[in-house]
Chain A
Amino acid sequence: MDFLAQYKNALFLIAVLLAQAIALAVQVRSPLDPAQPDGPSVRLVRMWAMAAVTPLERATHAIGHGARSGWSDYIDLRHLRQQNEDLQQQIARMRLAEDAIAEDALQGRRLQALLGFRQSYIGSTVVAQVIGSSGSEQTHVLTIDKGSRDGLRPDMAVITQDGIVGKLRDVFPTTAQVLEIDDQSSGAGVVLATTRIRAILTGTIDGRVQIDNLTPDSRIKPGEQVLTSGGDQVFPRGLPVGTVESIAPDPTHQPYSAIRVKPAVDLDRVEEVLVVTGMQSELPPEAQQVLSTAAVQNAADLSAERLPGIYDNQAAETAGTAPGAPATVPSVPHPLPILHPDQFSGGSTPPASTMTPGAQNSLRNALPQGNPPDGDPTTSNPTPSDGKQTSAPGH
């Protein structure tokens, strides 16, 4: 009894540590169901803990989001006009790029059909808000505000418009935990975009993302894009993962290289995510519509190439280029030859440098007598918008 009394503090510590060590040993056994990393009892306890914390996380997130959005709305309004113009220009550029991409996609689909390829596309997604994190540097886990009641299940892919974020780990009725790709226990099948080398992406203890199962290869360069390969049966094929940041020999894992990858998504600042809840073998309706539009346009272009044109030859002659060379300014209509020149004919308007500001009759004086102007000379001049004076072909 004296022994127990004398060492009760140490014995209590040993008992507590022993109990936890046994609990750890039970948990780290290989799970029977890969989709359930925790046993039923551990999962239940985690669910209770999450249920206790989630309301507070939701409230804090709502308050923070409200404050941030109020401030950002004010800031955004100040730059709205400039942003609108920039976006309009960006849309114009993207439309041009979309046509080219759609044509490539058409070609790709034809080739896939020839090869009997079966492609999986993202069929359905659930939008979720990130409301919490693990709060630890050892684990990189996010908490989202959707759970099994919204159709989520473990191992579903979590993405944003920029790339992949991770996959679902524990799914509770109203919340779920996302294992980010920079967690040390995560993994994803990837392919390097240019070299088409397949690899496995893992997280590291210090929260980085790297590929460590490739031997040194001089073709792999920093800046190369990394995409999902689809081989892990979690992430759909072709989603952005990141770019190669650095390549160095792996000192602890010779003869392999440690290829550091910069994630496409800023994992520290993820606010909203998409959970991929379903896949399909056909393209989504919107994408199909784009492709069908591109197909019609493609067919029209082919027909136009085969039909005789009324502009191309004339443009080539006017520009003085060779008949076979592509016209630099196509589709500009040319006026018919001038039979009876008047004040509206091309070349009759004096150059702007000779005009005097405020002189109303300078144009009238410059015109031939007996031909009073009866229209707006600026609109009646058949000068094209690019400033070139048009004249009859051959003038």
Chain B
Amino acid sequence: MVTRSYMSRREVEQQSFSPAVTIFVPLGALLLQVLLPRMFSGLAVLDLPFVVTLYFAISRRSPIAGTATGAVIGLLQDLLTGQPIGVNGMAKSVIGYAGASLGSRIDVDNNSTRALLTFGFSLLQGLLLYLIERRLLGIRAFLLLWMHELLRAAANTAVALPVFLLLDRAKHSE
């Protein structure tokens, strides 16, 4: 008996990346994240590792791969920021998992969808960081500044769209 599915080809399609892209794009994002705020302090509002995590997650559409990618990128970010190791690791693991889960269900090649996803997941990451810092680490002074989080989400979205288009050139369909 033939099994019928309502998922389109686009929905089941998974993209892969060359090892060089897989390694050097996250590293480049981490390096830029460390260097750019030295030149322009306002750029600290951006989270390039988050953008890269989300892109790989929604492109690969594999929750396990998304979780692993988010965990590795987040842990490396923690190493460089001086924060306890695991703060960004946990937040980006969830982002990677959720991004991949959502990416396998909706069309994520559309720019509008991408913008909405980036904006929403940026807010989700802010909430996750707040929970981790406030609840797990017990830092009472950590506050969730919603206006700031909205600005950060808008900035990440503005940067994510061209970065996604750039990275689209590096992926291979399977």
Closest chain A residue to B145, Cβ basis: A206
| Cβ-defined partner of B86 (8 Å) among A8, A23, A135 | A23
Q: Does B102 contact A (CB under 8 A)?
A: no
B12 adjacent to chain A (CB < 8 Å)? no
- Within 21-52 of B, Cβ neighbours of A (below 8 Å) are at 30-31, 33-39, 41, 44-45
Check A13/B41 contact, CB under 8 A, given A21-B90, A133-B34, A139-B81: no
Contact across chains for A134 and B82 when beta carbons are under 8 A apart: yes
The answer to whether the Cβ of A204 comes within 8 Å of any Cβ in the partner chain is yes
Whether A24 contacts B85 in the complex (CB less than 8 A), given A132-B35, A137-B44, A204-B141, comes out as: yes
Q: How many residues of B contact A (CB 8 A)?
A: 48
User: Which residues from chain A contact B83 at a C-beta distance below 8 Å?
Assistant: 134, 136, 138-139
For the complex, give the distance between the alpha carbons of A4 and B97 in Å.
17
Interchain Cβ contacts within 8 Å, total number = 130
Q: Is the CB of B142 within 8 A of A24?
A: no
Chain B residues with Cβ below 8 Å from A9 are 63-64, 67, 97, 101
Q: Considering only CB atoms, which chain B residue lies closest to A134 in the complex?
A: B81
Q: Is B79 an interface residue (CB 8 A)?
A: yes
- What is the CA–CA distance of A82 and B68 in the complex, to the nearest angstrom? 60
A130 within 8 Å of B (CB atoms): yes
Contact with A along B135-171 (1 / 0, CB 8 A): 0111101110100100010000000000000000000
Interface residues of A in 314-333 (CB under 8 A from B): none
CB–CB A135/B63 < 8 A: no
| Interface majority SS (helix, strand, loop, mixed), chain B | helix
Contact of B90 among A17, A56, A269 (CB under 8 A): A17
B76 within 8 A of A: yes
Does A179 lie within 8 Å of B141, measured CB to CB?
Answer: no
Min distance, Cβ A18 to any Cβ of chain B, angstroms = 10
Q: Which of A17, A49, A184, A206 contacts B76 (CB 8 A)?
A: A49
- B115 at interface by CB-CB < 8 Å: no
Contacts of B45 in A (CB 8 A): 137
A1-45 near B? 1/0 per residue, CB < 8 Å: 000000011101100110011011001100000000000001001
With a cutoff of 8 Å between Cβ atoms, the chain A residues found around residue B77 in the complex are 135-136
CB–CB B86/A21 < 8 A: yes
Consensus secondary structure, chain A interface: helix
**Which residues on the B side are within 8 Å of A177 (C-beta)?**
82
Residues of chain A with a CB closer than 8 A to B67's CB: 9, 12-13, 16
A residues 127-178 touching B (CB-CB < 8 Å): 130, 132-139, 141, 143, 169-170, 177
Q: What residues of A have a CB within 8 angstroms of the CB of B84 in the complex?
A: 24, 27-28
A268 at the interface (CB under 8 A from B): yes
- In the assembled complex, the Cα of A367 lies from the Cα of B35 at a distance in Å of 79
Most buried by A among B44, B129, B132: B44
> Is B34 within 8 A of A205, CB to CB?
no
Interface pair A57/B34, CB less than 8 Å apart: yes
Chain B residues with CB under 8 A of A80: none
Cβ–Cβ < 8 Å partners of A60 in chain B: 35
Q: Which residues of A contact B90 (CB under 8 A)?
A: 17, 20-21, 24
Task: Establish whether residues B38 and A130, one from each chain, have CB atoms under 8 Å apart when the complex forms.
Answer: yes
- Interface 1/0 per residue, A258-292 and B, CB below 8 Å: 00000000001100000000000000000000000
The reply to whether A12 and B64 contact each other, CB–CB distance below 8 Å, is: yes
**Of B31, B35, B142, B152, which is within 8 A of A184 by CB?**
B142
A13, A20, A24: the one within 8 Å of B63 (CB)? A13
Q: Which residue of B lies closest to A267 (CB)?
A: B41
Query: Whose C-beta in chain B lies nearest to the C-beta of A130?
Result: B38
Query: Is B80 part of the contact surface with A, judged by Cβ < 8 Å?
Result: yes
Residues of chain B contacted by A268 (CB below 8 angstroms):
41
CB pair A49 B93 closer than 8 Å: no
Give, as a whole number of angstroms, the nearest-CB distance from A317 to chain B.
Answer: 65
At the interface, yes or no: B94 with Cβ under 8 Å from chain A?
Answer: yes
A12 touches B86 (CB 8 A): no
**In the complex, how many angstroms separate the beta carbon of A55 from the nearest chain B beta carbon?**
11
Is B103 interfacial (CB-CB < 8 Å)? no
Cβ contact within 8 Å between A135 and B80:
yes
Q: Once the chains bind, are B101 and A134 in contact (CB under 8 Å)? A: no
Task: State the CA gap A23–B83 with chains docked (Å).
Answer: 12
Q: Which residues of B contact A (CB under 8 A)?
A: 30-31, 33-39, 41, 44-45, 63-64, 67-68, 71, 75-77, 79-87, 89-90, 93-94, 97, 101, 129, 132-133, 136-139, 141-143, 145, 148, 152
Please name 12 further chain A to chain B contacts, defined as beta carbons within 8 Å, in addition to the given A17-B94, A49-B79, sorted by A numbering. A13-B94, A20-B86, A20-B93, A28-B138, A45-B85, A61-B38, A132-B38, A136-B83, A138-B81, A138-B133, A169-B82, A177-B82
CB<8 Å pairs between A and B, sample of 21: A12-B63, A13-B93, A16-B67, A16-B71, A24-B84, A24-B86, A27-B85, A49-B80, A53-B30, A56-B31, A57-B35, A64-B39, A130-B38, A133-B38, A134-B34, A135-B37, A135-B44, A138-B133, A139-B81, A139-B82, A205-B142
